């Protein structure tokens, strides 16, 4: 089950961010990012609403879901602020991507007591380097 | 100030991954988390967009932008929904890396569809992505045995 879910998540997540490239190719690169992202998030919410088989939402789901939304937006705001604060893109994008990833690994291992084998650690190291390279501008 | 913003970005993006596992630990339903994540984010963004320009700007979006945004947003919704289900069976430390590595998909599509140049940096990062996926797959197989 894990592989099936992760395969769908992998491909769908990649397609989800491809929209910005389609916009650029269609000559719509000057579209307001806020407008585009609002539509993007609303469409995701519509899909989630269709998948939800009950209308009852618990308080813990409101708190955690809301906190995730704030984290998602603060991540973007933080990167934009760092860029406008004078830090170059070749520092901001790799550090934000790689740093966020290592943060999750550290919490997963120390707080959730996740056991990772040698190939897992090697995969994390290789994957982090791949992501940092992908995030480097130019 | 730039470094403080960068610290905010790193901790926020990291916490986003951690909260996926927290939601699973607290017994939250993936569909509900998915709905509230996207709904709250769209409300906050809609508010920001209205403050930046006028409240009516959201209604004045070109049709093509609306279509692309809706389609890609649904893909993202599908991704997070499946990711939330997957986290129940797997580790957040490796699953979060996998979802981040999906950035290789738009890179590969840009190369194949838009004939973007395959620079040495891109070629290396794509090769390392495949290597990381294989290593994580081996790790998972070893764990299942």
Of A105, A2, A108, A123, the residue nearest B144 (C-alpha)? A2
Residue B71 pLDDT greater than 90, yes or no: yes
Q: What is the mean pLDDT of residues B90-103?
A: 85
Q: Is the dihedral of CA A74, B22, A101, A20 positive or negative?
A: negative
Q: Quickly state the pLDDT bin for A102 (edges 50, 70, 90).
A: confident
- The answer to whether the CB of A51 falls within 8 A of the CB of B79 is no
pLDDT > 70: what percent of chain B? 96
- On the question of pLDDT at B52 being above 80, the answer is no
Residue A82: per-residue pLDDT: 85
In the prediction, which pLDDT does A70 show?
93
Is residue A138 predicted with pLDDT exceeding 70? no
Chain A positions touching B91 (Cβ under 8 A) are 108, 112, 114, 116
State in Å, rounded, how far the first CA of chain B is from the last one: 49
Burial class (CB in 10 A: 0-12, 13-18, 19+), B64: middle
Amino acid B19: pLDDT: 93
State the pLDDT at residue A2: 84
Mutation choice for A interface testing from B19, B44, B58, B73 by most A CBs within 10 A: B73
Q: Round to whole Å and give the CA distance between B50 and B62.
A: 17
Residues 6 or more apart whose Cβ sits within 8 Å of residue B129: A127, A130, A134, B101, B104
Mean local confidence (pLDDT), A126-136: 83
Confidence of residue B55 (pLDDT cuts 50, 70, 90): low
The ipTM assigned to this model is 0.87
Question: What pLDDT shows up at residue A84?
Answer: 82
Residue A67 pLDDT greater than 90, yes or no: yes
pLDDT digits (tens, 9 = 90+) for B24-36: 999 999 899 999 9
Please, which contacts does A35-38 make with residues 24 or more away whose CB atoms are closer than 8 Å?
A35/B49, A35/B57, A35/B58, A35/B61, A35/B65, A36/B61, A36/B65, A36/B69, A37/B45, A37/B69, A38/B42, A38/B45, A38/B46, A38/B49, A38/B58
**What is the rounded average pLDDT of the residues A65-91?**
85
* Percent of chain B residues topping a pLDDT of 90: 28
At residue B59 the predicted structure's pLDDT band, cuts being 50, 70 and 90, is low
pLDDT in tens, A21-31: 888 888 776 76
Where would I find the H helices in A31-117?
33-51, 59-84, 89-110
Is A61 within 8 Å of B39 (Cβ atoms)?
no
Beta-carbon contacts of residue A121 (< 8 Å; ≥ 6 apart): none
pTM of structure: 0.86
pLDDT at residue number B133: 87
Q: How far is CA B71 from the centre of its chain?
A: 15
Residue A61: predicted pLDDT: 92
**What's the average model confidence in pLDDT over A106-126?**
87
Min Cα distance B124 → chain A (Å) is 8
- Check: CB of residue B102 under 8 Å from CB of residue A130: no
Mean pLDDT (whole number) for A32-49:
85
Average pLDDT in chain A? 85
pLDDT at A63 over 90: yes
Q: Mark yes or no for CB contact B74/A44 under 8 Å.
A: yes
In tens, the pLDDT along B108-120 reads 888 888 888 888 8
d(CA A83, CA B1): 10
For chain B, domain boundaries:
2-89, 103-145
Q: So what's the pLDDT on residue A9?
A: 93
**Pick from B135, B17, B37: which is nearest to B86 by CA?**
B17
Q: Which residues between 41 and 60 in chain B have a beta carbon less than 8 angstroms from any beta carbon of chain A? A: 41-42, 44-46, 48-49, 52-53, 57-58
Give the C-alpha distances (Å, rounded to integers) separating B101 from B29, B121, B129: 25, 15, 7
What is the mean predicted confidence (pLDDT) over B87-113? 86
Which residues in A lie closer than 8 A to residue B64 (C-beta atoms)? 26, 28
C-beta separation of A17 from B18 below 8 A? no
């Amino acid at each position: 089950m894990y592989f099936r879910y992760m395969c769908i998540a992998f491909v769908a997540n990649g397609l989800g961010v491809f929209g910005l490239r389609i916009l650029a190719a269609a000559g719509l690169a000057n579209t307001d990012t806020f407008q585009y992202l609002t539509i993007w998030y609303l469409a995701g919410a519509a899909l989630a609403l269709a998948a939800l088989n009950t209308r009852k939402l618990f308080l813990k789901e409101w708190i955690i879901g809301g906190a995730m939304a704030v984290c998602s937006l603060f991540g973007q705001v933080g990167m934009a602020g760092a860029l406008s604060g004078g830090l170059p893109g070749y520092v901001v994008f790799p550090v934000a991507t790689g740093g966020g990833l290592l943060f999750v690994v550290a919490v997963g291992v120390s707080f959730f007591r996740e056991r990772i084998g040698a190939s897992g650690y090697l995969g994390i190291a290789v994957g982090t380097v791949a992501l940092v390279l992908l995030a480097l501008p130019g | 100030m730039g470094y403080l913003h960068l610290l905010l970005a790193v901790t926020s993006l990291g916490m986003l991954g951690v909260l996926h596992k927290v939601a699973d630990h607290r017994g939250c339903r993936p569909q509900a988390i998915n709905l509230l994540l996207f709904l709250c984010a769209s409300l906050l963004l809609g508010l920001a967009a209205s403050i930046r320009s006028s409240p009516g700007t959201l209604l004045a979006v070109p049709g093509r932008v609306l279509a692309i945004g809706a389609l890609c947003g649904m893909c993202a919704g599908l991704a997070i929904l499946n990711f939330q289900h997957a986290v129940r069976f797997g580790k957040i430390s490796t699953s979060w890396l996998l979802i981040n590595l999906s950035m290789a998909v738009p890179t590969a599509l840009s190369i194949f569809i838009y004939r973007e140049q395959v620079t040495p940096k891109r070629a290396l990062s794509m090769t390392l992505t495949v290597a990381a996926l294989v290593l994580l797959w081996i790790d998972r197989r070893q764990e299942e045995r």
